[in-house]
Amino acid sequence: MTRIEGNIVDVVNRKIYPGVINVEGGIIQSIEENSNIYDSFISPGFIDAHVHIESSMLLPEEFSKIVIQKGTVSVITDPHEIANVLGRQGIEFMIEHSKNSLLKIFFTIPSCVPSSSFDATGAQITSSDVEGLLKDHSFVGLSEMMNVPGVIFDDPEVIRKIRLAQEYHLPVDGHAPALRGDHLKKYISAGITTDHECTTIEEAKEKIQYGMKVLIREGSAARNYEALKELIALYPNDVMFCTDDSHPDNLLEFGHIDKIVRRAISDGYDLFDVLKIACLNPIEHYQLKVGSLQVGNAADFVIFRDLKSFEVLSVYVNGKENFNIQSPFPESNTENLICENLNCFHHDMITASQIQKKVNEKELVCMKVLPNELITEKIVFPISSYENFQSDTKKDILKIIYINRYENKQPQIAFIHGMGLKRGAMASSISHDSHNIIAVGTNDSDLLDAVNTIILQKGGICIADKGEKEILPLPIGGIMTNKGGIEIAEQWKKIQNRLKQMGCPLESPFMTLSFMALIVIPELKIGERGLFEFSRFNFISE
């Protein structure tokens, strides 16, 4: 029997006391209170209630090595990104590669692949696929239901997916930015139980009052803690924490769920309310097989140095110490993974004439980027006529290009405000949720270099500046790498720093860029037929 001693943080019973935890067979057999003085704290581990591991660009094993250091014992992951590229094969790939994880990784089934009928993806997940996956694997929910109109207007395929989840007694996650009133009531009544897209406290309160659980999100690009933090005190039973999408450098430098916990404690919120949200609420909502530091539970817990910094000394999962601050991780063999059959790239190199854009209107409609948000706004600039308008860096009007990488189609061209580049271009094959090529630049020459480098590599992240190019290859579906987390974080940081030198002021420019093609989030995005206006739920030209 293993004995672990320290100040025990009993979140269930809202008390802290010195004691010993006795573990055998991965289960807490007993907890003995004593009168010893300890300088460390044993607490239930943190749980990320909604994350796309693929957004870290890492395989599950490498992702787990980063976040377990931050006190995370479990994540609920939606393999939506890889499913858009590879379909069911991608989901099963992620499940298989999670078996070497240091964490408990639970999967939800992607509900919207593609996200809408206007998107072009490498694959689809139909209700028949959902049925097959439910029979063949163990899931904890149906992933974020992005097809809000499909729910509200009873689309048969959408409703069948929800009913299948309910037959297996699984909760259905939501994705309903800015949805309010009667349409929200209809959406929830269909069986949707959560939402992680709230950007205002009023929206979040309404959703909770109608019966939803609200996830407070702090990722690399979308950060809603400040707007929603009042919920911690008002509705501690109805809130969870999540990151949704985070890059490895951000996770290493700023943290995972621990960064939200630290911030909430610093803001004066009750310790037990915060830990209930971070550690217990996801277990209850998704019926997770994760311990909450009670006798008879799985021995999943974290030893912290204190309850202010939440510095992690060690982490136990099923009674095994999977992380200790004194011990380095063993080398992984992920670099030996053969990636040739894990991609889907079918586009020729593009030419300069294909990205030229004639402007003869008096006004130019642009997408406006909002810092730390996934939503955009529509902004209009007065403009002169041009045979080929490339950019106006003084007004921060830049060309944005979208290219379907699954078929050899023509690029779509529009303009964007708020990226801030003063020179050069940036391009990526990570663009939610279809993961087609998206690029922004100040001139066509650099745009061409960046985009063609991505096509040549069959996926990656690239910057181009006056003939100089730098790329981070992503051979797995054009969205992930088989390299180690620290190596990728260093490469990523180098590219980010170069972008800052090129004038981009955004904290996470590539994460922001990746959402400029996600048409199911307001207001103006770019897609298969140019600019898409969310409020009309159609392309502007139609």
The Cα–Cα gap between 526 and 412 comes to: 8
The Cα–Cα gap between 372 and 377 comes to: 13
The Cα–Cα gap between 293 and 295 comes to: 7
pLDDT in tens, 257-316: 999 999 999 999 999 999 999 999 999 999 999 999 999 999 999 999 999 999 999 999
Residue 542 reports pLDDT greater than 70:
no
Residue pair 195/175 in contact (Cβ under 8 Å)? The answer is yes
Residue 26 reports pLDDT greater than 70:
yes
What is the per-residue burial (b if ≥16 Cβ within 10 Å, else e) of 480-499? bbbbbbeebbebbbebbebb
pLDDT at 108: 98
Split at pLDDT 50, 70, 90, the class of 419 is very high
The Cα–Cα gap between 430 and 196 comes to: 21
pLDDT in tens, 386-404: 989 999 999 999 999 999 9
pLDDT at 236: 98
Question: Percentage of the chain with pLDDT > 70?
Answer: 99
CB neighbour class for 353 (10 Å; exposed up to 12, middle 13-18, buried from 19) = exposed
Q: Which residues pair with 301 in a beta bridge?
A: 44, 316
The Cα–Cα gap between 305 and 168 comes to: 41
Q: What residue spans define the domains of the chain?
A: 45-289, 352-539
The Cα–Cα gap between 531 and 428 comes to: 18
pLDDT at 438: 98
Q: Which residues contact 331 (CB under 8 A, 6 or more apart)?
A: none
* Mean pLDDT comparison of 12-26, 331-345, 480-494, highest-scoring range: 12-26
Mean pLDDT for the stretch of residues 163-190? 97
The distance from CA 446 to its chain's CA centroid, rounded to whole angstroms, is 29
- The per-residue pLDDT of the chain, averaged, comes to 94
- The single-letter code of the amino acid at 220 is S
Residue 353 structure tokens: 């004439």
Residue pair 53/247 in contact (Cβ under 8 Å)? The answer is no
Residue pair 46/238 in contact (Cβ under 8 Å)? The answer is no
pLDDT in tens, 58-88: 999 999 999 999 999 999 999 999 999 999 9
Residue 336 reports pLDDT greater than 90:
no
φ, ψ dihedrals at 335, nearest 5°: -65, -15
pLDDT at 434: 92
pLDDT at 109: 98
Residue pair 26/241 in contact (Cβ under 8 Å)? The answer is no
Residue 205 structure tokens: 């309160």
Question: Which CATH number applies to 45-289?
Answer: 3.20.20.140
Q: How many CA atoms lie within 13 A of 15 on its CB side?
A: 6
Angle at 428 between CA 465 and CA 443, to 5 degrees: 35
Question: Percentage of the chain with pLDDT > 90?
Answer: 85
pLDDT at 467: 86
Residue count of the chain = 542
